[in-house]
Chain A
Amino acid sequence: MNRRQFLVNLSVVLGCSVTSINSMVIAATSAFDSETMKTGFTEKQLECIKLISDIIIPHTDTPSASEADAHLYVDYYVHHFMTPDERIKFVGQFDNLLNANPSFLDLSASQQVNSIEILDGDMYQGSEQTTFYRKLKQLIVIGYYTSKIGATQALKFDPIPGPYQELKLSEVGRVWF
C-alpha cells in the first residue's frame, strides 16, 4: 500500500470528516499514539523538503534551514499537528509535486531553484500547487526562525532583555526574534 492510500484508509478509520468534537479528540489522540504516524515522511519526501528548505533559506554566514532541522519540524508538524483532513490534503499535494514528470528530485540543482522561484513568484495565486507551497514555506520559515539556531544566529534572541532601551540598529545588528 502506498503512503497516500494508507492515509486515505487511515482517514476512514479516524473519521476525517468528523464534525463531532469527541471523534476529533480521538483522532488527535490516535495520531499521537500510532506508531505509523510517528514515522512521518518517507526518505524521499524528507529529502525533497530538505532541498526546498535550503533553496528558500540557504547556508550563508548563518546556518541553512536543514542545518537547523527545519525539514524535521515540517515533518513533525504535518504528522502530529495537522488534522487528518489537513494532512491528507497536504501530503496529497506534495506527492503530486514528487510524482510529476519529471519529478522535482530528478531536476538539476539549478532547475530546482528555478522551479521554487517560479512557485514563490506565484505564491499568492491560489492554485492547488501554490497553496501547498505557501503552507510548506510557512512551515519551513517557522521551523527555522523559531529553532534555536535560527532564532539565536539568523535573528537576535534575548530572553531577558531587561528594561526597554532605545538603541541604534548598528548596536543591535539584526532583527529581534
Chain B
Amino acid sequence: MKAHNMDFDVIVVGSGMSGGIAAKEFCEKGYKTLVLDRGEPIEHGQYKTEGLAPWQLPYRGEVLTEFKLQQHIQKNIYIYNDFTKHHLINDLENPYEQKQPFIWYRSATVGGKSLIWGRQSYRWCEQDFKANKRDGHGVDWPVRYPDIAPWYDHIEPFVGISGSYENLPQLPDGKFLPPQSLNVVERDMKAKVEQAYPERKFIPARMANLSKANKVHTDLGRVQCQARSECSRGCSFGGYYSSNSAALPAAKRTGNLTLIANAQVQEVLYDDVACKATGVRYVDSKTGKSHSISAKVVFMCASTLGSVQILLNSKSTTFPNGIGNRYDILGRYIMDHCGGGGASGKISGYLDDYYKGRRPGGVYIPRFRNLENTLSIAKSTNNQTENGFLRGYGFQGGASRSGWQWAKNGQGVGVDFKAKVSQPGNWYFSMWGFGEVLPRFENRVMLHSTKTDQWGLPILVTDVVYKDNEKNMVDDMTATAVEILVAAGLEDIKGFEGYAPPGGAIHEMGGCCMGHDVTSSYLNKWNQCHEVANLFVTDGSAFSSTSCVNPSITFMAFTARAVDYADKQLKAGIL
C-alpha cells in the first residue's frame, strides 16, 4: 500500500506499551508507518547499565542528590536507582502543575514505560466492562468482554505471558506460557488460605516474562527469562516484553517502520474543510525545529496524560478547545488504581528451603469483593456495597527469605555478625492491593492557561482526587490482608496502609473515554474519535473505567483491535 500525497500512511505518536503494538500491527499489514517518540533513542541490546555489578557503579546503586533534585517526582518510583534513573525524565525540564497531588511518572526513552513496567498481565472480565453501567459511575463502555477476548488471544502469545489456568470468571484465562512456580511456603499458604476463604484464590502472578521462549519470541532474538530481576535496566535477553525487545523489532523487520526519537509532538493537525486530521506537528527537542508531517490516519499512544495534553493543544477553528472536544469531555474521568493497603508477616520454619534466581513475580489474589456471580455472593447476603465500597481490588505479593540487607541498619559486630549476615534469614510474606477507582467527571487534567514547557507545549494541570470509596477500599485491603495472613498461620503480622496520591500506582487511565455518544465520551467502540474519523486513541486514556487488574496487556489488546478496524476502513476507502 502506498501513501498518496501523504508523507506516511499512518502516524503513531508514542512507542510504548500501545504505540509499539500499533506500529507492529500496521507495519505487518503493509502500511508505511511513522512512529514519533519524545524520548531519547535507545537500542535494544545496548542498555548501558545492564549486567553491571554493584561494585561497577561508584555509589553502588545509590543516586546522587544532584539527580534526585532534577528528578524530584521520578525519584519516588519503586524502581528508581542509579541503574535505572536515565530511563526516567528530568522533572525540572518537564514541569506540570498539581492543583491536587498527582504523581506523574514519565519515561525518558523510546519504548516508553514498556521498558520499566511491572509486567503483571491480567485480562479484564465481563463484570469490569459492565461496572460503569451497573453502578452509574462514569460512562458505559461501548464494548464487553467478548469484543476484546479475541484480541487478548491475538496479543498474548506475541507478548509471552506466563500463567496458570484457573477458570475464574473475575480473571479470565488466556493463552499462557507455563506458569511461574509458587515456592514451598506459598504452596502451603495457598492450601490454608483457600481452605479458610474458598473465594480468595492464591495463584501464581501472570507475568510478561518468558517462562519458555516460543518461535515467535526466538525469531526476535528473545529467550527465556534469566531471573535476574533487573528488568528495568533493559534486558538484552528479551526475557520480558518491552516495545524495544519485541514490538519495535517486529515492526522494523517489515521494512515499513520509520521511527523518530526526540520528537515532541505538539498537536494533531486538523483540516476544517475536509473535517479530518491531516497529520501532526512535532518539535525536535534537540534542534528546537518544528516539523509537520502528514498521514491518512493518526494513532495517539503517547501515554494517558501525554495523549490528552497533545489533543487538548490541537486547536482549530472547528475545535478551539482541542480536537474532537466539542462537549468538554477531553481530559475528564482521570483515574489510577488506588492501593498500597496490605500486610506482611513472618513464616516460621522452612529454614532448610531456599532457591536460586530472582523470580519476576510472586503471588496474585484476584478480586473477591463485590463479585457478580461467584462463591462470595452465594455465601453472603452481599449487595454491591456490603464492604462499604463499590467495585473491588486484587492483591500482589510473595514469599522470600530475608537477605543481607538488614545488616545496613542492623546490630552486631565481629565474627558472629559476619556469620549471621552470610546466611539467609526467616521467610517473610508481603502483600499489597490494587483497587478500582471510580470514574468521576470532575477528576480531570487541563492545559495551563499561560505556562508552557521549553518546547512551547502548555503544561498540564492535574485536578484529580480520591474520595470515600477509595479510602474505604484501601482500609478494607489492610484489614483483609491481615485476615488472610492470620489464616495462613503467619507470625508478627503487620498491616500497612497506603494512601498514595493518584498516579502513584502508575496505572493512570481515562481522559479520552470510550462511550456510546459524542456528548458523553471522546471515542467510539473502535477507539476512534467520535468527531474525527481518522484519529484514534489507544493508550490508557481511552479507558472508561480501570478494573482492578494491571492494565498494560489490555492497552495492547485494544490497540491491535483498533488497528484491525482502521485497516478495514482504509481498505474500504472510508478513511
Contacts and interface: CB of A to CB of B under 8 A. Distances in A.
A175 B356 CA distance: 10
Chain A, interface residues (CB within 8 Å), range: 35 or more
A89 to B, nearest CB: 14
B354 A172 contact: yes
Contacts of B69: 21, 24-25
Given A145-B421, A164-B358, A165-B357, A58 B414 contact: yes
B231 to A, nearest CB: 14
A158 interface: yes
Interface string A155-177: 10111111111111111101111
Nearest to A134: B409
Given A81-B59, A165-B357, A169-B352, A56 B417 contact: yes
Contact of B418 (A28, A60, A120): A60
Contacts of B353: 166, 168-169
A167 B355 contact: yes
B184 interface: yes
A58 B226 contact: no
Contacts of A37: none
Contact of A164 (B55, B351, B359, B414): B359
Contact of A76 (B58, B184, B225, B404): B58
Interface of A: 21, 24-25, 28-29, 55-58, 60, 62, 73, 76-77, 80-81, 83, 113, 116-117, 120-121, 123-124, 134, 138, 141-143, 145-148, 151, 154-155, 157-172, 174-177
B74 to A, nearest CB: 15
Interface stretch (B25-33, B60-68, B108-116): B60-68
B413 interface: yes
B418 A58 contact: yes
A138 B409 CA distance: 6
B354 A117 contact: no
A146 B55 contact: yes
Interface-central residue, B65, B70, B92, B224, by most chain A CB under 10 Å = B65
Contacts of A151: 53-55
Contact of A83 (B58, B65, B355): B65
Given A56-B417, A159-B228, A166-B355, A141 B422 contact: no
B64 A81 contact: yes
A72 to B, nearest CB: 12
Contacts of A177: 54, 403-404
A97 to B, nearest CB: 16
B150 interface: no
Contacts of B480: none
Label chain B's interface by main secondary structure. Answer: loop
B411 A154 contact: no
Contacts of A57: 417-418
A133 to B, nearest CB: 11
B354 A167 contact: yes
Nearest to A86: B65
Contact of A161 (B357, B409, B412): B357
B183 interface: yes
Interface in B37-55: 51, 53-55
Given A57-B418, A160-B228, 4 more contacts: A58-B415, A120-B412, A162-B357, A175-B421
Contacts of A80: 58-59
A170 B429 CA distance: 22
B411 A176 contact: no
Interface string B504-540: 0000000000000000000000000000000000000
Contacts of A165: 355-357
B414 A155 contact: no
Top 4 nearest A-B pairs by Cβ distance? A161-B357, A146-B54, A164-B357, A28-B66
A113 B409 contact: no
Interface string B410-440: 0111110111011111000000000000000
Interface of B: 51, 53-55, 58-62, 64-66, 69-70, 92, 180-181, 183-184, 211, 224-228, 351-359, 401, 403-404, 407-409, 411-415, 417-419, 421-425
B51 A159 contact: yes
Contact of A155 (B61, B354, B408, B422): B422
B55 A147 contact: yes
Nearest to B60: A146
Contact of A167 (B92, B351, B356): B356
A166 B65 contact: no
B138 to A, nearest CB: 40
A24 B69 CA distance: 9
B413 A142 contact: no
B424 A176 contact: yes
A172 B54 contact: no
Contacts of B404: 145, 155, 175, 177
Contact of B59 (A56, A77, A147): A77
B355 A164 contact: yes
A140 to B, nearest CB: 10
A120 B409 CA distance: 10
A130 to B, nearest CB: 11
Contact of A28 (B54, B64, B183): B64
B55 A56 contact: no
Nearest to A168: B352
Contacts of B354: 166-169, 171-172
B443 to A, nearest CB: 31
Interface-central residue, B61, B181, B408, by most chain A CB under 10 Å = B408
Contacts of A21: 69-70, 92
B180 A164 contact: yes
Nearest to A81: B59
Given A55-B414, A165-B357, A141 B407 contact: yes
Contacts of A161: 226-228, 356-358
Given A58-B418, A168-B353, A172-B356, A142 B412 contact: no
Given A162-B227, A165-B357, A120 B411 contact: yes
Interface-central residue, B64, B69, B414, B415, by most chain A CB under 10 Å = B414
A50 to B, nearest CB: 15
A114 to B, nearest CB: 10
A21 B356 CA distance: 44
Contacts of A167: 354-356
Contacts of B54: 146, 151, 177
Contacts of B228: 159-161
B421 A154 contact: yes
A56 B181 contact: no
B292 to A, nearest CB: 35
A55 B536 CA distance: 65
A58 B413 CA distance: 9
A160 B356 CA distance: 10
A154 B418 contact: yes
Interface-central residue, B62, B409, B422, B423, by most chain A CB under 10 Å = B422
